[in-house]
A and B are shown apart, each in its own frame.
Chain A
Amino acid sequence: MKKNTQCYFTTNNVKLIDYKDVDILKKFLTPHARMIGGGRTGVCAKHQRQLASAIKRSRFMGLLPFVAK
Chain B
Amino acid sequence: MNHNEHTEPRIYELGYHLVPTLAEEQIPGASGAVRGMIERISKGIIAEELPVFIDLAYTIVKTVDHKNKRFDEAYFGWIKFEGTPSGIAELEEGLKKDENVLRYLVVKTIRENTFIAKKFTGAKVKEVEEAPVAEEAVEEVQSEEVLDKAIEELVK
Residues of A within 8 A of B (CB): 1-2, 4, 6, 8, 11-12, 14-24, 27, 41, 57, 59-66
Contact = CB atoms under 8 A, between A and B. Distances in A.
Contacts of A59: 57
B105 to A, nearest CB: 6
B22 interface: no
Contact of B125 (A16, A19, A27, A65): A27
B116 A18 contact: yes
A1 B133 contact: yes
Nearest to B59: A62
A9 to B, nearest CB: 9
Contact of A21 (B15, B58, B76, B115): B115
Interface residues of B, number: 29
**Most chain B CB neighbours (cut-off 10 Å) among A14, A62, A66:** A62
A14 B103 contact: no
B81 to A, nearest CB: 16
B128 A6 contact: yes
A21 B107 CA distance: 15
A8 B125 contact: yes
A27 to B, nearest CB: 6
Interface string B102-115: 01010101101011
A25 to B, nearest CB: 10
B116 A4 contact: no
B103 A62 contact: yes
Given A8-B125, A16-B109, A41-B125, 18 more contacts: A1-B133, A2-B132, A4-B128, A4-B132, A8-B128, A11-B128, A16-B110, A17-B114, A19-B107, A20-B115, A21-B114, A21-B117, A24-B117, A27-B125, A57-B105, A59-B57, A60-B105, A62-B56
Contacts of A14: 114, 116
Interface in B63-79: 74, 76, 78
B15 A19 contact: yes
